[in-house]
Amino acid sequence: MPTITTNDLKNGMALNLDDGLFEVVEFQHVKPGKGGAFVRTTLRNVRNGANSDRTFRAGEKVERAMIDKREMQFLYRAGDDYVFMDSTTYDQLNVEPASLGSAADYLIENAEAILKMFGDEIVGVELPAAVELTIAETEPGIQGDRVSGARKPATLETGLVIQVPLFVGPGERVRVDTRTGDYITRA
């Protein structure tokens, strides 16, 4: 793995430190009047998502982690595993649900995703900002249900439960924000 100095840090860069794999969220180069310069950083643990603040001496060497981003297509579920196909090599990859995290709630057959790989380990999943899913189950809308801003629970085809407006019924397709899990609009 290549080593870089803390002077070369950039936002979004991945670092392989002694206590785990981290992504630089924010950094600031500080040169006080007395003493040596240092770099104050906010790092996000790639595996569990926890943020931490860390200070490095200016010019300190750190190991850069090479994260490979692969465009994949979700094909089907095989038991508990999710089967993906690499869009360029057509290789198939079985992925455990724990590796996908909350991204599994938005995956339907033929959905596109970008898997972030560190070696053979999946350390993250990038989905489109919004996906279209079908409502599997919800209470039907009743004529006259027009209360402004009122919501009801709806179960999507993936099993995810979201809050939707009263006029949305079962079988309709809706757009869902994959970052927050919120209803956007009918499709």
pLDDT digits (tens, 9 = 90+) for 63-78: 988 888 888 898 988 8
Least confident of 21-30, 100-109, 128-137, 171-180: 100-109
| Every domain range in the chain assigned CATH 2.40.50.140 | 68-126, 130-186
Output the six-digit token pair for 100.
Answer: 């996908």
| Every domain range in the chain assigned CATH 2.30.30.30 | 3-63
pLDDT band at 53 (very low <50, low <70, confident <90, very high): very high
Exposure string (b/e) for 73-86, b if CB count within 10 Å is 16 or more? Answer: ebeeeeeeebbbbe
**Residues sharing a CB contact under 8 Å with residue 103, sequence separation 6 or more, in sequence order:** 113, 125, 127, 178
Q: Looking at residue 42, what is its pLDDT? A: 92
Give dist(CA 168, CA 175) in Å, integer: 12
Output the six-digit token pair for 154.
Answer: 């709806």
Can you tell me the mean pLDDT for 174-185? 87
Give dist(CA 22, CA 37) in Å, integer: 22
CATH architecture, domain defined by 68-126: Beta Barrel (2.40)
Topology of domain 130-186 in CATH is: OB fold (Dihydrolipoamide Acetyltransferase, E2P) (2.40.50)
pLDDT band at 147 (very low <50, low <70, confident <90, very high): low
Can you tell me the mean pLDDT for 140-148? 66
Q: What is 3-63's CATH number?
A: 2.30.30.30
**Residues sharing a CB contact under 8 Å with residue 45, sequence separation 6 or more, in sequence order:** 20, 21, 22, 51, 52
